[in-house]
Amino acid sequence: MLKIRNLQTFYGRIRVLDNVSLSVKPGEIVTLIGANGAGKSTMLNCISSLIPSREGEILFQGEKINGQPPEAIVRLGICQVPEGRQIFQPLTVLENLQLGAYLRYGRRERSYIESDLNMIFSLFPVLLERSDQVSGTLSGGEQQMLAIGRALMSRPKLLLLDEPSMGLAPRVVVDIFQTISKLRREGLTILIVEQNARAALKIADRGYVLETGRIILQGSAAELMEDHDVKRAYLGRDYREFTEGRS
Amino acid sequence: MTRLLKYKSLQVGTFGIVLALLPLVLTNRYYLNVMIFIGIHTLLVVGLNLLMGYAGQISLGHAAFFGLGAYTSGILTATYHMSPWPAMVAAVVLTAFVALVIGIPALKLSGYYLAMATLGFGIIVHICFKELNYLTGGPSGLVGIPTLAIGSVILDEPARYYYLVWFTTLAAIALSLNIVDSRVGRALRAIHDSESAARASGIYTSRLKIWVFVISAAYASVAGSLYAHFITFISPGSFDFMFSIKLVTMVVVGGMASIWGAVFGAATLTLLPEVLAVFHDYDIVVFGLILMVVMIFLPQGLIRGALDLLEKYRLRRGVAGESV
């Protein structure tokens, strides 16, 4: 569904992504893990065309998409839930969701949009309760739900999630990740970028490990979970002993 | 949706009835003249507010669009003896076209840079009004612009012109209220908040910004035509940089991103100098002081600010606000 070949991206003269290749098949959850500054968010922003890529290609359903404007990417069916939510704070919850369907209003799909709204509200009931509230007043977790809901309103084929766990209470993180797997069961393809490697690997099918702009490791989520280096670097060495020692 | 629509028609309707009855009380020509100016300014400010308050794009050259409307109407009718209504349409088309041509490069800029670009545009247009003697009459102005007529009714009485101006302005307000609550209105506010997040939601931000720029220029053009036919004489001084600043001030004082705020801002800042005439030479000082006080204590603009103050007062009185 999504295929990235030898992607290179620069910020000025600094190379952020160095010959990165990855692929996402329909119906999969793929995760990209790595430390701060590895280039994970850059990767998603390249796919969304918010950052231009210098070399290499990004193919979506066989069509080359790098170089197209970000609006066109959304039209093709790729939608990003950006890092730090980036909801439109002065607007109400409902207005944020309606904005997600911006392109579809133009295509006169009103009745479908209504039913999608109801779908979002059944996925995140709290958003219905707060639908007339200014979204800047929501809690972090609720804002994350809203950001996911807004992206879903565009009816994406591929959902890009950038750090959905950022700044959230552990219990809320569990909720969000459960919702993500639920969305996959309903047929959505998902690419998640995460620092919380454990949470991401738990729900993912496959994963890639990014370090300073290169992919150093890839494999099934189960393999990565058991990989010695991944354990040491991203899951916290000896975390098992640590947690077992406490219980 | 329908409740919202009813609410809006109720607002516009009530406002319209009050305005329709006003001339029965205000028979004085001077008051009517002031009301006509408030109407023209409101039309300008409602349009500018779409651009500034909603889409968050500043224009320091709005007087130029106002002037283009006025001069096109004036030149076509006074010099070329065209009939006023088609001339007004021509003015809107021309102004919208100019806005499109200017907007395409200028709106690639944002913030201070956009302010500078529109400022430059405003100054250039102002110089054209002053220097194109054979067309505009130069610094001494353009005379002999006919008054408007609807059929055989000549609108030479302020009371008649009053209805024309406010009818147009009300239509503009109704149109703006609809734009603001539509998909496009939401998109404009999204651009204001974060342009990249808006693009990531599939909004063609560059196109939309140009579109709203053209719309607000068209509002200004209509206001300019109405102005020219009302006072029948125009000179470059009415369309200078200071007037652009005044329009921006009206938007800010009334409250950004509020149509009724725009109406209120235009009314306040048009009335204020009239009221302050009692201070004679010091009126501009008092005017400045009032603006400073408003911005310090009610930075959200008069309407929002007043509502916030009311809310605070109610809380202090111990009346619990309804939970949302």
pLDDT in tens, chain B (324 residues): 566 777 888 888 999 999 998 888 888 889 999 999 999 999 999 999 999 999 999 999 999 999 999 999 999 999 999 999 999 999 999 999 999 999 999 999 988 899 999 999 999 999 999 999 999 999 999 999 999 988 888 888 888 999 999 999 999 999 999 999 889 999 999 999 999 899 988 899 999 999 999 999 999 999 999 999 999 999 999 999 989 999 998 998 888 888 999 999 999 989 988 888 888 788 778 878 887 888 888 878 887 788 888 888 888 876 544 444
| Shortest alpha-carbon distance between residue A122 and chain B (Å) | 21
pLDDT of residue B2: 63
Residues of B in contact with A98 (CB under 8 A): 183, 186
Size of interface A-B (CB pairs under 8 A): 70
Does residue A105 surpass a pLDDT of 90? no
Q: Across the interface, do B199 and A98 touch by the CB < 8 Å criterion?
A: no
Q: Residue A54: phi, psi to the nearest 5?
A: -85, -45
Among the partner-chain residues A50, A79, A91, the one whose CB lies closest to the CB of B186 is A91
Q: Is B14 on the interface with A (CB under 8 A)?
A: no
**A24 pairs with which residues across the strands?**
A2
Does residue A153 surpass a pLDDT of 80? yes
Closest CA to B90 of B195, B277, B228: B228
pLDDT of residue B218: 97
Among the partner-chain residues B196, B201, B257, the one whose CB lies closest to the CB of A99 is B201
Against a cut of 0.90, is the pTM above it?
A: no
A99, A142, A158, A161: best to mutate for the B interface, most B CBs within 10 A: A99
| Domain, as residue range, for A74 | 2-239
User: What pLDDT band is residue A239 in, cutting at 50, 70 and 90?
Assistant: low
A200 within domain boundaries: yes
Residues of A in contact with B190 (CB under 8 A): 88, 91, 99
Q: Is B76 on the interface with A (CB under 8 A)?
A: no
A17 within domain boundaries: yes
| Shortest alpha-carbon distance between residue A146 and chain B (Å) | 13
A247 within domain boundaries: no
* ipTM score for this prediction: 0.81
User: What pLDDT band is residue A247 in, cutting at 50, 70 and 90?
Assistant: very low
Q: Which residue has 């009301």 as its token pair?
A: B35
Residues of B in contact with A70 (CB under 8 A): 196, 199-200
| Shortest alpha-carbon distance between residue A247 and chain B (Å) | 42
Angle, vertex CA B254, rays to CA B249 and CA B258, nearest 5? 120
Structure tokens at A2: 């999504």
| Shortest alpha-carbon distance between residue A225 and chain B (Å) | 32
Q: Is B3 on the interface with A (CB under 8 A)?
A: no
User: What pLDDT band is residue A241 in, cutting at 50, 70 and 90?
Assistant: low
User: Could you give the count of Cα atoms lying within 13 Å of B90 in the half-sphere of its Cβ?
Assistant: 14
A71, A78, A85, A95: best to mutate for the B interface, most B CBs within 10 A: A71
CATH number of the domain that A141 lies in?
3.40.50.300
Angle, vertex CA B8, rays to CA B3 and CA B14, nearest 5? 125
Interface of A with B (CB under 8 A): 48, 50, 69-71, 74-75, 79-80, 82, 86-91, 95, 98-100, 102-103, 105-106, 132-133, 150, 154
A245 within domain boundaries: no
Does residue A23 surpass a pLDDT of 60? yes
pLDDT of residue B24: 86
A114-119: average pLDDT: 92
- The answer to whether the CB of B221 falls within 8 A of the CB of B68 is yes
Q: Across the interface, do B199 and A70 touch by the CB < 8 Å criterion?
A: yes
Residues of A in contact with B189 (CB under 8 A): 88, 90-91, 95
* Structural domain count of chain A: 1
Burial status of residue B80 (CB atoms within 10 A of its CB: 0-12, 13-18, 19 or more): exposed
Residues of A in contact with B257 (CB under 8 A): 90
Q: How far is CA B268 from CA B163, B166, B299, in A?
A: 20, 16, 16
d(CA A190, CA A78): 10
Q: Across the interface, do B199 and A89 touch by the CB < 8 Å criterion?
A: no
Does residue A56 surpass a pLDDT of 80? yes
Q: Which residue has 């619990």 as its token pair?
A: B320
Q: Residue B57: phi, psi to the nearest 5?
A: -105, 125
pLDDT of residue B288: 82
Among the partner-chain residues B183, B199, B200, the one whose CB lies closest to the CB of A98 is B183
Q: Is B24 on the interface with A (CB under 8 A)?
A: no
- The answer to whether the CB of B101 falls within 8 A of the CB of B172 is no
User: What pLDDT band is residue A236 in, cutting at 50, 70 and 90?
Assistant: low
A244 within domain boundaries: no
SS3 B291: helix
| Shortest alpha-carbon distance between residue A157 and chain B (Å) | 14
Q: Across the interface, do B202 and A103 touch by the CB < 8 Å criterion?
A: yes
d(CA A47, CA B180): 32
Model confidence pLDDT, tens digit, residues B58-75: 999 999 999 999 999 999
- The answer to whether the CB of B239 falls within 8 A of the CB of B126 is yes
| Shortest alpha-carbon distance between residue B317 and chain A (Å) | 24
Burial status of residue B166 (CB atoms within 10 A of its CB: 0-12, 13-18, 19 or more): buried
| Shortest alpha-carbon distance between residue A219 and chain B (Å) | 30
